[in-house]
Structure 1
Amino acid sequence: MNAVTSSPRRPLVRRLAALGMAGLLLGASGCTAESPPAAENVQAVEASGSPGPPAIDEEQLRETFERLAEELLVPGAAMLLRTPERELEFTYGDRARDDSDPVDLQDHIRIGSVTKTWTGTIILQLVEEGRLSLDDPVSKFREDVPNGENITIEQLLNMRSGLYNYSESYELSLALDETPQRVWTPEELVGIALPLPAYFPPGEGYHYSNTNTVLLGLIAEELEDKPLEEIVQDRLLDPLGMDESAFPPSADTALQRPHPQGYMFMDNVLTIASTKLPADLIAAAESGELEPNDVTDANSSWTWAAGQGTSTAGDVAVWAEALAEGGVLGDETQQLRMDSLQPVDPDNPESPLYGLAIAKFGELYGHTGELPGFNTFMGHDPGNDLTLIVWTNLAPAADGRDPATSIARELIGEIYGR
């Protein structure tokens, strides 16, 4: 194994308490209190690019990884790149801003919307078993969903139901800021979304919505007659040997040790308008006058089936490979999933691709995940047997970017020569 580790330190800075910035988003696309789902949705990485065997320049990749981590002001970051020839592990910075304990590839992190691929896979397994169909209307399982007779299970999976994303509501954002330890039930989350207007009629658009995945989790629990945490463990984590991963119970979503602290600059209400700080505050963050807030221990039950999972870089790599290679589905269902990818915007030839709880980034299949304090990218290229995992313990960056996704985008460009 070729491993490279770096842990540059930046001077600690004083907190500007008067700004009142406490907690931030969970990524609009996976778990965020932000309005437009842009932070983590598949628009973060281009879906186009020329195929071909990747070229690995270890020193160049390390330089890019460290440069971007520093530019994005992340306290810590980690990268895992796996090919048939080698495995690279890069780390940057520390677990916490107030000590010199370097981050590690064994650290446990919140994976945000990567959890959606868990929930989506369970639904596809239930389809394989004949327990439900992709064409089933949601009304078959939930009579309270508006227009549910015209919304299919498939449209929940591919984000084309039109249902309002509860994460974009002021009600949720304010509650997350005022009571970060609140334990949310899935029914409370659905209860926020269903009275609010749909974005479009079913099947006539695309809008990333956590409501879709929470409904899928509730349907899985109804069919399996047990909690989603047990379903995830029994169907996915145990069979794949993902011993460092968990779907924690909502009452206690604390991260398993070791883990980094998670940071963010804004609060959830502010991210409704934009995840980007005003120019003067970006400058303050860059100069060290403004420091991010520690949101590690905020309860993540408000993401539930859409983002409550925890894992490590190594386990996420195992999952990315199983997701793209079909290790958890039969051949026919796996092919159906891979064929399901379609442009988010059909009128844009360079539009990102999203399908049955799976995204495509160039040659890599996978997903991204963001929630306050943590951002994760995972992707696997089956043709070249290449896996890339990146995570950061800041989300979003001061300038509004998703740090791990931004780093991954440039690394993918270098690996594939574009």
Structure 2
Amino acid sequence: MGRHRLRTALLAAALVAAAAAPALTGPAVAAPVPRTAVTLGAAHEPPYAAELTKNLLAHMQRLRIPGAIVSVTTPRAGTWTTALGTRDLTTGEPIRTDDHMRVGSITKTFTGTIVLQLVQEGRLSLDDPVAKYRKGVPNGRRITVRQLLQMTSGLFNYSEDLGFNERLDQDPTAEWTPEELLDIAFRHPVYFPPGTAFHYSNTNTVLLGLIAEQLTRQPLAKLYERRIFRPLGLRDTSYHPSTTFPRPHPAGYQFISNVDSLTAPVLTGKDAAWADWSAGNPYDVTGANASWASAAGAAVSTVDDLRRWAPALATGTLLDARTQRERLTFVPTSDAPGAPAYGLAIADILGFIGHDGQIPGFTSFMGYDPARRATIVVLANLNQSPDGTAPANELTKEIIAELFPS
């Protein structure tokens, strides 16, 4: 991708398959060290709050995370929600617990739920071939709806296409249709025969979104609202495949990586901004267009709504028991110790059932542990730290290590 050799691609569950696209908007701004916390929810802070807050702030400083919202619910201590750091690096305004954020691949849990509802209504089957609903899909006669949901279809992930990433770099506000995204994916050979391996691919979920719209003759935004958001009272959750999303919201930030300074000794104009970014200052990418994420990642939510959605998702509130059992049939994502397992548009991450997300400017995690009846939600207004890690996931690991060490 030219002399800058951008590390781009996957809108993904970062603990499942990480990396984010480098949408470029706004000026580079220096990141102050987050120092304050605002706690809301419980009448009294739980015993763990002070120590956990100190450790989370230390992680934020190390990982250059401008702001984060954290919520932990346990049977014994109730719900503790805290806002840490800043929502705007220019003004230093504190981040707020009611801020809206893009939630990236958590969107997949909404799309997957819609598809599973259609399954239990008899409008399609998990074992139907994709070719029954969509022509032109490579291996479409052999790939099933189940394999799309489970990321075992083998379909190429359009987010890994070089030309796609180059266009994102050049014009982060560009509008994409789902059909354009699938066209990119289908020009590539499949990764493997259907059902023989796991590869996280946004193509699967974009395809599922189109199938859901085709069967219901309703747009995805309306399906989400009518079938999920309204029944569960998720008033601040919505679908925004565009450059804008509801307020209040923080600015979303992104670092660039892998700038080749040896091949670019003299930088002027736009290149000077790249140099500033590589020197350690993140860019404001709040206005990047999320249409390229589509049904795989263009939703927006708040910490309170995700705190409700996580247990509803994990326990099958919107599905019957049989369909929920299908959803919670997991496959390994890798052979690495402690690697997540993946079900039907849902993940088991260190015992927490849910999903995470990564999109320019933002990372997210939500999960519910049925054994502990515990919920964790973390939202951060940075999509990737300079060391390549996903901010929300790193903060989540700290919470699990401190509060749920077993």
User: Structure 2 length as normaliser, TM-score?
Assistant: 0.84
After superposition, residues 108-187 of structure 1 pair within 5 angstroms as 108-187=100-179
CA displacement at 1:37 relative to structure 2: 3.3
1:38 maps to which residue? 18
C-alpha distance in 1 between matches for 2:357 and 2:259: 20
2:57 maps to which residue? 66
After superposition, residues 29-108 of structure 1 pair within 5 angstroms as 29-30=12-13, 37-39=17-19, 57-84=48-75, 85-108=77-100
| 2:312 aligned with 1:329 | no
Tell which has more relative contact order, 1 or 2 (C-alpha 8 A, sep 6+). 1
Cα gap change, 1:348 to 1:182, in 2 (>3 Å): closer
2:365 maps to which residue? 377
| 2:330 aligned with 1:341 | yes
1:305 maps to which residue? 295
C-alpha distance in 2 between matches for 1:368 and 1:352: 11
C-alpha distance in 1 between matches for 2:158 and 2:209: 15
Alignment check: 8 A CA contact 1:170 1:269 kept: no
Alignment check: 8 A CA contact 1:24 1:265 kept: no
C-alpha distance in 2 between matches for 1:389 and 1:141: 35
CA displacement at 1:20 relative to structure 2: 7.9
| 2:349 aligned with 1:361 | yes
Q: Map Cα deviations across residues 277-304 of structure 1 (whole Å, 9 max, x no partner).
A: xxxxxxx98xx95311111011100000
Q: Counterpart of 2:376 in 1: which secondary structure? A: strand
1:406 maps to which residue? 394
C-alpha distance in 2 between matches for 1:291 and 1:192: 33
C-alpha distance in 2 between matches for 1:216 and 1:26: 20
Aligned AA (1:202): P
Q: Map Cα deviations across residues 36-62 of structure 1 (whole Å, 9 max, x no partner).
A: 93348xxxxxxxxxxxxxx96222221
Cα gap change, 1:39 to 1:401, in 2 (>3 Å): same
C-alpha distance in 2 between matches for 1:187 and 1:337: 27
Alignment check: 8 A CA contact 2:11 2:293 kept: no
C-alpha distance in 1 between matches for 2:299 and 2:226: 14
Alignment check: 8 A CA contact 2:12 2:200 kept: yes
C-alpha distance in 1 between matches for 2:4 and 2:249: 26
Alignment check: 8 A CA contact 2:257 2:386 kept: no
C-alpha distance in 1 between matches for 2:337 and 2:119: 31
Q: Counterpart of 2:209 in 1: which secondary structure? A: helix
Q: Counterpart of 1:405 in 2: which secondary structure? A: helix
Structure 1, unpaired ranges of 5+: 1-18, 41-54, 271-283
CA displacement at 1:90 relative to structure 2: 2.0
CA displacement at 1:362 relative to structure 2: 2.1
Q: Map Cα deviations across residues 234-260 of structure 1 (whole Å, 9 max, x no partner).
A: 110111111101012x4x441211101
After superposition, residues 282-301 of structure 1 pair within 5 angstroms as 289-301=279-291
Number of aligned residue pairs: give it: 364
CA displacement at 1:25 relative to structure 2: 5.2
C-alpha distance in 2 between matches for 1:26 and 1:318: 30
Cα gap change, 1:244 to 1:26, in 2 (>3 Å): farther
Give 4+ residue runs of structure 1 displaced > 6 Å after superposition.
267-270
CA displacement at 1:355 relative to structure 2: 0.8
CA displacement at 1:352 relative to structure 2: 2.0
Aligned AA (2:57): E
Alignment check: 8 A CA contact 1:25 1:395 kept: no
C-alpha distance in 1 between matches for 2:10 and 2:139: 27
Alignment check: 8 A CA contact 1:119 1:216 kept: yes
What CA RMSD, in Å, does the superposition of the two structures yield over aligned residues?
2.6
C-alpha distance in 2 between matches for 1:289 and 1:269: 10
Structure 2, unpaired ranges of 5+: 21-45, 261-275
* Equivalent position to 2:211, from 219, 227, 246: 219
Alignment check: 8 A CA contact 1:158 1:357 kept: yes
Q: Counterpart of 1:398 in 2: which secondary structure? A: coil
Aligned AA (2:330): L
Q: Counterpart of 2:168 in 1: which secondary structure? A: helix
| 2:379 aligned with 1:396 | no
Aligned AA (2:144): T
C-alpha distance in 2 between matches for 1:216 and 1:228: 10
C-alpha distance in 1 between matches for 2:211 and 2:103: 22
Percent identity of the aligned residues? Answer: 45
| 2:194 aligned with 1:205 | no
C-alpha distance in 2 between matches for 1:327 and 1:353: 21
C-alpha distance in 1 between matches for 2:345 and 2:385: 25
Q: Counterpart of 1:148 in 2: which secondary structure? A: coil
Aligned AA (2:122): G
Cα gap change, 1:235 to 1:255, in 2 (>3 Å): same
Cα gap change, 1:188 to 1:56, in 2 (>3 Å): farther
C-alpha distance in 2 between matches for 1:193 and 1:123: 21
CA displacement at 1:267 relative to structure 2: 7.5
User: Structure 1 length as normaliser, TM-score?
Assistant: 0.82
C-alpha distance in 2 between matches for 1:365 and 1:315: 16
Aligned AA (2:251): Q
